[in-house]
Structure 1
């Protein structure tokens, strides 16, 4: 048992010569979850040798008032925990000769835990019940010179008030504190004491997992975490709804297969930068996690399509069950995504409302047509830097009419006044439009856009052929405009910008970099828009 607790004697002796403690996430996961004594002595409820599936290990449940000596918790002794035994553990020099059996605790408890626990007794007040099961009998204290303050006591000393400790906080307060901690910090807190261990694994704290470490063996970490979270509900984590694994570059299909099997209630999955995952694993996730609504695979360069697995299709009874109910899908920087992949995604994900396809260079107007025909509830779309998307694609998007609220076609060279004209005519509830770098866009489309889309909040016209005439219409009709960029619009003068400053009084951000404006115009803008952030490149404006 002395060697069984990898988080115990072995870890303490290994870390004794290291100036940094508990900085290796892999080591922390190994110490907290993958203990030898747990993996060998504690069995899964469904793999119990007794054959009774409902028999769960006692260390999974909160300590009860029972006097049973059966306990496999790594911080518990095999005998009842009395105050006398506790006093002997905390103060070995004053141990009585009759407490030899209670000293079994020392062989199972990590040495770093004992060194902290040995300081729990504080001056002039009773110790806090850190170890579950401690009795309320009178404790014989050691000589006064041996009393020390706890190393993790939080002193809240104020005038007229007594000292207190974090150990005296109720469980509700501790759970509230733990709820703000990321996953790795929660696992560190589990090492402090028995009470914290039990509180950390409270299911309400594990509705979300956030691990963002490019050097971590994330497949192993997920295996250990999900296994621990699945003890009370064998094989599944019913409380887990959100998982953020951004920049976990070592995540593989093996990790995604585990997520698909253990997390049926998953609603949000962030996989930014996980460049080793493939279509097969991702399709298994969306097929098994039927409640998944938010999927971000930005930078996953091997992803070319998303669909249901053949097994899921065979089990589907009707057309409704053959759908993936995603609401948000981010495929930014997936360079191999093409029109065929877009057709598959559009056919299976017809409930999409938000989709982002930035820098998916292989997508053309045909792919946008598939999207517009199938995803009729689409509200936001970004095809920035998709240089093969042009006016035909925007004409298809205009069929969404009043549903479309957000559109970005920045740096789409093939977009001109014709395509923007279709959007201005039919999508009258548009709130955000980005046509930055579309040099073929001019006042011809901006004027009807200002007249029809009067609810516009953000507009980026950088490097477009816009003049004062277009700004006059914006100032007259788009009075609720909050963000406007006319960066490098060389034909704009003082009159156009001043008209915007007077008409759009709610502006919060104005970009006039590269515009030929006078210092007087800048000072007037600054006076009219006192709360507006103004970006400029003219040193005379400072």
Structure 2
């Protein structure tokens, strides 16, 4: 009796494999088989899985892929309901909405602000419509604007009201260098009223009046007071350089009167008179340094009015001002006791030993003294210099009455 060792199995259904198709028997390649499923079997399988055959579904028309009512940027105020957009449930399958790629996107894909535009154009419009500077604080804008020259600041003031206010902020006009410039009537006064602290106007040409009566910026009542001399304009200038300026004495007085907090003033090579020196003494009482070298018109009365009203003066330069003996006597009688630097070079034979002795006696804080080009000064001043004890710098150039043996 023969035993059958093969297990009994149910009869296999007919395989859907088509044996006529070639089978890959190459050992170097993975085995592959081609499956040909009948349409009836395929439909049964899809029904069991609960899916539909994509090949049997026709693609929706192009007009349904991008309905106009969905391309419009809807807002909460639009009177379009969701049912109107998608349709009723019994109207058939909901059309599939797809987003076109950037390469196939046209200029009419979107309606933005009532007009057709592309995504790129809409993005650019949104960027251009946003003012980046409006998001910055005033302090940050001032830090940016301070790197611009004064001419560019004037151009920035024409952008808008905010930029006008920032461009003329006092922080941006603290130091001004306007050397070798020409100022017509009213121009310099407009600049000085912007709040600068240090102003350099060397070799500049200034026409009068310095401050114009502009009715656009001042009330009519205030302009009348300025015209009648009942009210003066004051600025914040503390350091002023007017060296070698082409300016009249009346214009000098107008500028100095507007600078009461003046601390350092240079009028080198300018034409001055008694009125200018008196104005400096009366209006700039906090003056600490004054440079009058090579000035013409320095006389005794003007010197007295200057020194009497400036007790805080620590530096005085009177080099080559052609001081006579009477003016030097007025200087020694009214010289400030806090003086630390004094330049009297170029006085010639008018400067004598007794004048130097009086200056050293009245100015115990004097540290620097220049009496060059004074041939009348002799070796007698050395005893006063030794007794003074605080002199750190002494200039005796071209003092021919001194013998070199006294300097050893």
TM-score tier after normalising by the smaller chain length: 0.5 to 0.7
Q: Does residue 271 in structure 1 map to residue 178 in structure 2?
A: yes
Post-superposition CA distance 1:380-430 (Å, at most 9, x none)? 2212111222333222222125222221111111x1343334333331111
In structure 2, how many angstroms separate the alpha carbons of the residues matched to 1:368 and 1:341? 13
What is the aligned partner in structure 2 of residue 423 from structure 1?
Answer: 331
In structure 1, how many angstroms separate the alpha carbons of the residues matched to 2:386 and 2:277? 32
Checking the alignment, whether the CA contact within 8 Å between 2:186 and 2:211 is kept in structure 1 is: no
Q: Select the structure of larger CA radius of gyration.
A: 2
What is the aligned partner in structure 2 of residue 4 from structure 1?
Answer: none
Q: State the SS of the aligned residue for 2:186.
A: helix
1:247-326 map, 5 Å: 266-274=173-181, 276-287=182-193, 289=194, 291-303=195-207, 306-307=210-211, 309-311=213-215, 312=218, 314=220, 316=222, 322-326=233-237
**What is the Cα deviation at residue 316 of structure 1?**
4.3
Pair 401,236 (structure 1): closer, same or farther in 2 beyond 3 Å: closer
Pair 308,492 (structure 1): closer, same or farther in 2 beyond 3 Å: farther
1:448-467 map, 5 Å: 448-464=358-374, 465-467=376-378
Pair 329,452 (structure 1): closer, same or farther in 2 beyond 3 Å: same
Q: State the SS of the aligned residue for 2:244.
A: coil
**What is the Cα deviation at residue 455 of structure 1?**
0.8
In structure 2, how many angstroms separate the alpha carbons of the residues matched to 1:239 and 1:345? 21
Q: State the SS of the aligned residue for 2:166.
A: coil
Checking the alignment, whether the CA contact within 8 Å between 2:320 and 2:346 is kept in structure 1 is: yes
What is the aligned partner in structure 2 of residue 78 from structure 1?
Answer: none
**What is the Cα deviation at residue 307 of structure 1?**
3.7
Pair 235,489 (structure 1): closer, same or farther in 2 beyond 3 Å: same
Q: State the SS of the aligned residue for 2:251.
A: helix
What is the aligned partner in structure 2 of residue 353 from structure 1?
Answer: 263
**What is the Cα deviation at residue 309 of structure 1?**
3.4
1:126-137 map, 5 Å: none
Pair 299,372 (structure 1): closer, same or farther in 2 beyond 3 Å: same
Checking the alignment, whether the CA contact within 8 Å between 1:208 and 1:241 is kept in structure 2 is: no
Q: Does residue 235 in structure 1 map to residue 164 in structure 2?
A: yes
What is the aligned partner in structure 1 of residue 246 from structure 2?
Answer: 335
In structure 1, how many angstroms separate the alpha carbons of the residues matched to 2:205 and 2:192? 18
**What is the Cα deviation at residue 364 of structure 1?**
2.2
Checking the alignment, whether the CA contact within 8 Å between 1:335 and 1:359 is kept in structure 2 is: no
Post-superposition CA distance 1:500-533 (Å, at most 9, x none)? xxxxxxxxxxxxxxxxxxxxx4xxxxxxxxxxxx
What is the aligned partner in structure 1 of residue 146 from structure 2?
Answer: 208
Q: Does residue 476 in structure 1 map to residue 387 in structure 2?
A: yes
In structure 1, how many angstroms separate the alpha carbons of the residues matched to 2:380 and 2:310? 26
TM-score, scaled to structure 1: 0.44
In structure 2, how many angstroms separate the alpha carbons of the residues matched to 1:399 and 1:458? 22
**What is the Cα deviation at residue 463 of structure 1?**
0.4
Checking the alignment, whether the CA contact within 8 Å between 1:468 and 1:495 is kept in structure 2 is: no
Q: State the SS of the aligned residue for 2:164.
A: coil
In structure 1, how many angstroms separate the alpha carbons of the residues matched to 2:391 and 2:208? 38
Pair 495,325 (structure 1): closer, same or farther in 2 beyond 3 Å: same
Q: State the SS of the aligned residue for 2:394.
A: strand
Q: State the SS of the aligned residue for 1:344.
A: helix
Checking the alignment, whether the CA contact within 8 Å between 1:203 and 1:239 is kept in structure 2 is: no
**What is the Cα deviation at residue 491 of structure 1?**
1.6
In structure 2, how many angstroms separate the alpha carbons of the residues matched to 1:269 and 1:103? 49
Q: Structure 1: any 5+ residue segments left out of the alignment?
A: 1-96, 109-193, 212-217, 244-265, 498-520, 522-542
Q: Structure 2: any 5+ residue segments left out of the alignment?
A: 1-100, 106-117, 125-131
- Which of 388, 392, 397 lines up with 2:306 in the alignment? 397
Pair 348,227 (structure 1): closer, same or farther in 2 beyond 3 Å: closer
Checking the alignment, whether the CA contact within 8 Å between 1:306 and 1:344 is kept in structure 2 is: yes
What is the aligned partner in structure 1 of residue 26 from structure 2?
Answer: none
CA-based RMSD: 3.7
Number of matched residues? 274
TM-score, scaled to structure 2: 0.56
In structure 2, how many angstroms separate the alpha carbons of the residues matched to 1:492 and 1:305? 51
